[in-house]
Amino acid sequence: MGGLYVFTEIVRMGIRNTNWKPRNLSEYIGQDLLVRELAVEIQASIKERRALNHMVFHGGPGVGKTTLIDIIAKSRGLGPPVRVPGKSLKDHDRLTELMCSLGGKPGKDKNGHNIILPPDGYDLKTGLLVDPSVATFPILVIDEAECVDTSILELLHQVLEPESSGLRWMLGQKTESGRKKQWNVWVVEFTMIFLTNYFGKLMRKASATLSRMPIQHGFEYYSIDELHDVVTQFAEHIGLTIDEDAAEMIASRSHGEPRWAVNYVRMVVGYSTSERNISLFAASKMFETKGIDSNGFNRDQITYLKSLVDAGGGPLGIDALSVILNTQRDTVEITIEPALLRRGMVMRSQDGRVITSEGRVAVSGDGAASPFYSRALG
């Protein structure tokens, strides 16, 4: 009751916590197969008093990977995951530091100096887990895992599975004034999660390592129905009601990504005359002001498509498109193009980009293109 009171009070005062995110698996929308698999895995790892199995998640930005990983950690009763960009795992020294930081807890010796104490639950001499009830089972998330150096992937490979005795170890290394010191480091029972947007590349680089990571999932883009649920759920949690047609409009302009859906709900408040309710009028006004069309494409994306139509459908090279859009090639490739390619508006050919019939319809003036989201990641 207290919580509800505080919540209503916050809304009454006009302060909204717009950082709300799904907090457990039942609040998490979409990715149904994975969510079901995780529910079983979390229960099993609690019952068997072990770390969660290693995981590989692939998919573009904004599809709910970070949100889900936070939910996994919380549902298993673990501390916040440790996150590391793949690019930062440059050498053996850095990897050693990272793996050491997973175990051990900071403490003080008799003289008050900072030292690392052995982690709870592990036998100091053998390095074996003796009391799983107090182990921390940390989760290590490697972002852009395809960027990790091959030699580092080989070291990681070993640490993913324990020896038959139950001991996990790796060769540690520390370089001091050009001298390499190497020793065996035992590693606590942990869960590795690889994230990547380039699964093929990671697979080519690390197929042996991936074979030790049993939970693998490609995050799908969300259907309009799922995004509709994301929109209404988020609105409700930040103390708003939203009209059906307004929710529909936001859902169909979010490119299959919950991140967009949620961001549009945050923004639409500014276009609304009511503090509590979001109408179709407010949503239309927001999209019109932002120059976003009925497919969710922004001005640059519309210009991109129209240039191709003007060029007889293409092909147009990426450099020509950058000139027309008055922007860097990178911007075209990283921010403007992906949604157009993924939604089948354009195709890549050897000589450049070519518009599809879907793309022509999208800029034909009546905006009749059906928003189509490929179920697989392209």
Ligand X SMILES: Nc1ncnc2c1ncn2[C@@H]1O[C@H](COP(=O)(O)OP(=O)(O)O)[C@@H](O)[C@H]1O
Contact between 103 and ligand X by CB under 6 A: the answer reads: no
Smaller CB separation from ligand X, 83 or 212: 83
Which positions from 4 through 33 interact with ligand X, judged by CB under 6 A? Answer: 21-22, 28-30
Tell me: does residue 86 bind ligand X (CB under 6 A).
no
59 vs 30: CA distance, rounded Å: 14
| 3-state DSSP assignment of residue 365 | coil
Contact predicate 279/272, CB 8 Å: yes
Q: How far is the CB of 106 from ligand X (least distance, A)?
A: 29
Q: Which member of 262, 268, 278, 325 binds ligand X (CB under 6 A)?
A: 262
Cβ proximity of 352 and 310 under 8 Å: no
66 counts as binding Mg ion under rule CB under 5 A: yes
* Binding status of residue 268 toward ligand X by CB under 6 A: no
Q: Which of 141, 148, 202, 230 binds ligand X (CB under 6 A)?
A: 230
User: Which DSSP string corresponds to 118-187?
Assistant: PPTTB-TTT--B--GGG----EEEEETGGGS-HHHHHHHHHHTS--TTS--EEEEEEEETTEEEEEEEE-
Shortest distance, position 37 Cβ to ligand X, whole Å: 15
Cβ 201 to ligand X shortest distance, Å = 18
Asked if residue 353 lies in contact with residue 321, where contact means CB atoms within 8 angstroms, the answer is yes
Size of the site for Mg ion (CB under 5 A): 1
- Among 348, 54, 298, smallest CA distance to 356 is for 348
Site string for ligand X, 44-63 (x = CB under 6 A): -----------------xxx
Q: Take residue 9 and report the two structure tokens written for it.
A: 């009070």
Stretch that binds Mg ion, among 61-69, 164-172, 199-207, 315-323 (CB under 5 A): 61-69
79 binds ligand X per the rule CB under 6 A: no
Determine phi and psi for 310, rounding to 5 degrees.
Answer: -60, -30
Backbone angles phi, psi at 243, to 5 degrees: -70, 145
User: Quick check: 251 binds ligand X (CB under 6 A)?
Assistant: no
By CB under 6 A, residue 242 contacts ligand X: no
User: How long, in residues, is the chain?
Assistant: 378
Q: Does 256 bind ligand X (CB under 6 A)?
A: no
196 interacts with Mg ion by CB under 5 A: no
Shortest Cβ 128–ligand X spacing (Å): 35
SS (H, E, C) 256-310: CCHHHHHHHHHHHHHHCCCCCEECHHHHHHHHHHHCCCCCCCCHHHHHHHHHHHH
What are the residues binding ligand X (CB under 6 A)?
21-22, 28-30, 61-67, 230, 258-259, 262
What are the residues binding Mg ion (CB under 5 A)?
66
